[in-house]
Amino acid sequence: MSVTIVLGVIGADCHAVGNKILEHTFTEAGFHVVNLGVLCAQEEFIHAAVETNARAILVSSLYGHGEIDCRGLKGKCVEAGLPDVLLYVGGNLVVGNHDWDEVRLKFEEMGFDRVYPPSVPLAQAVADLRSDLQRQHERRPAAVFASSVVVAAAATADTG
């Protein structure tokens, strides 16, 4: 079964073209993409992630207000019971030209796992998501692992 991700353009931002390209790219890469489109409130991302059991939320911000629109999203994810949902953000995150490392750091401090400039090759973002999901899978608590072993053993016993 494919991994579900939630995608959308945050805040009062109506830039729609990149959003469609992201949807296409991640769908082609084998993800189940729940695309909220443009003009999305933080709560819509979180609601969709809870409803669909999504493993990652991909936020776009193109019009320069990304910092204001994204602030607090991580905390709301934690409150909603999504402490481990991966948070990615990309686009023209701030107004004007800024040192990229400063921008990246600012968004990382806000709780984002990955922060991308508009020039990022999307194949890179797909590879990052695969590797972050794999790392999470490897770090899963022993209890979860143990219960899946029990389920697997039961299934084997059933079949045979």
In terms of Cβ atoms closer than 10 Å to its own Cβ (0-12, 13-18, 19+), residue 37 is: middle
Q: 121-160: which residues touch ligand B12 (CB under 6 A)?
A: 122, 125
Is position 91 an interface residue for ligand B12 (rule: CB under 6 A)? yes
Catalytic annotation present for 15? yes
In terms of Cβ atoms closer than 10 Å to its own Cβ (0-12, 13-18, 19+), residue 38 is: middle
Beta strands in the chain (DSSP E): 4-9, 32-35, 56-61, 86-91, 114-116
Is position 58 an interface residue for ligand B12 (rule: CB under 6 A)? yes
Is position 68 an interface residue for ligand B12 (rule: CB under 6 A)? no
Is position 112 an interface residue for ligand B12 (rule: CB under 6 A)? no
Sign of CA dihedral 18, 23, 29, 34: positive
Of positions 34, 92, 110, 113, contacts ligand B12 by CB under 6 A: 92
**Ligand-binding site membership of 119 (annotated):** no
Is position 16 an interface residue for ligand B12 (rule: CB under 6 A)? yes
Report the alpha-carbon distance of residue 5 to residue 116 in Å, rounded.
17
Q: Rounded to the nearest 10 degrees, what angle do helices 17-28 and 122-138 cross at?
A: 50
Of positions 4, 63, 76, 136, contacts ligand B12 by CB under 6 A: 63
Of positions 4, 18, 27, 133, contacts ligand B12 by CB under 6 A: 18
Catalytic annotation present for 13? yes
Q: How far from the centroid of its chain's Cα atoms is residue 139's Cα?
A: 18
Residues annotated as binding site? Answer: 12-16, 60-62, 92-96
Q: Which residues bind ligand B12 (CB under 6 A)?
A: 12-18, 21-22, 58, 60, 62-64, 88-92, 95-96, 116, 118, 120, 122, 125
State the catalytic residues.
13, 15
